[in-house]
Amino acid sequence: MKIKVVESVLKANDAVARENRKRLDAAGVLAINLMSAPGSGKTLLLEKTIPALAPRRCAVLVGDLQTTRDAERLGSVATQVTQINTGTGCHLTATQVAEGLDGLELEGMDYLFVENVGNMVCPAAFDLGEHRRVALLSVPEGDDKVAKYPTLFQAADAIVLTKVDLLGVLDYERQRVYEDLSRINTRAPLLELSSKTGQGLEGWLTWVQQQRQRLCPSRSPG
Ligand SMILES: Nc1nc2c(ncn2[C@@H]2O[C@H](COP(=O)(O)OP(=O)(O)O)[C@@H](O)[C@H]2O)c(=O)[nH]1
Ligand SMILES: [Mg+2]
């Protein structure tokens, strides 16, 4: 009985997610859902990505339990930013994203970045209508997280290892991450970067641009 309830919630979510994807496709907007533990560096990565990519053609939806702090940070780099407060919800839902889309002008946009609520478990279960899922993990979190939270990394189209500027300071065996990923997700690239120093950002930006070109080959991104 319990399982049926969960299934129906997910089914209803998936139906709204499909509508979200249709709206985004119609507008030629690539949507990327960023998922990670709190503090892995989602907001700072977006603060660096958007100015380098196409500042006037990026919109952002940010999910957090409380506060508009991330939206305030991102408001200085993106033209359209909406904060979604989930209250006690540990992940965004497709319905919340649909409401967020209602408030955005998608015409003229190339990219929609969705910063999910900081959590390594729940966000992975909910399709939001995004085109690509990115899972972040940061060096200070430790090199065992891929094995401990496999669902987040299994669902990812790309995995971003952030804060590599701290590799020399902390005991961190990158090889463990590669080995764990080889068991659970071999199709997603592992992109190592530091939003602080800029190391590795080029590779990430190239991956993002390639995804949009695949989605919308006839329109050149700004
Ligand atoms: N050293 C270092 N710090 C970072 C990096 N990326 C993010 N941070 C810091 O980590 C903290 C959390 O980052 P934030 O982007 O807010 O994480 P979020 O909760 O995932 O959005 C902030 O103090 C950032 O300045 C990085 O690449 N290197
Ligand atoms: Mg954030």
Answer yes or no: are the C-beta atoms of 168 and 137 closer than 8 Å. no
The protein residue whose alpha carbon is closest to atom 26 in ligand 1 is 163
Residue 41 Cα to ligand 1 middle (Å): 4
Reduced to 3 states (helix: H, G, I; strand: E, B; else coil), residue 192 is strand
pTM: 0.95
Residue 5 Cα to ligand 2 middle (Å): 31
Q: Which protein residues touch ligand 1 with a CB less than 6 Å away?
A: 36, 38-44, 118, 162-163, 165-166, 194-196
Q: Is 2-212 a CATH 3.10.50.30 domain?
A: no
Identity (one letter) of the amino acid at 4? K
Mean pLDDT for 12-24 is 97
Average pLDDT over the chain reads 94
pLDDT of res. 219: 64
Mean pLDDT for 162-173 is 96
Confidence bin at 217 (pLDDT 50/70/90):
confident
Nearest ligand to the CA atom of 45? 1
Reduced to 3 states (helix: H, G, I; strand: E, B; else coil), residue 145 is helix
Gap between the Cα atoms of 165 and 59, Å rounded:
28
Atom of ligand 1 nearest to the CA of 38: 19
Confidence bin at 220 (pLDDT 50/70/90):
low
Nearest ligand to the CA atom of 63? 2
CB atoms within 10 A of CB 186: 7
Residue 44 Cα to ligand 1 middle (Å): 6
Long-range contacts from 96-104, C-beta under 8 angstroms, 24+ separation: 96/63, 97/17, 97/20, 97/61, 97/128, 97/129, 98/16, 98/19, 98/20, 98/129, 100/61, 101/20, 101/23, 101/24, 101/61, 104/59, 104/61, 104/80
Answer yes or no: are the C-beta atoms of 165 and 189 closer than 8 Å. no
Tell me 158's DSSP state.
E
Residues with a beta carbon under 5 angstroms from ion ligand 2: 42-43, 70
* Per-domain boundaries in the chain: 2-212
Phi-psi region of 150 (alpha: psi -120 to 50; beta: other; left: phi over 0): alpha
Strands 190-192 and 158-162: parallel
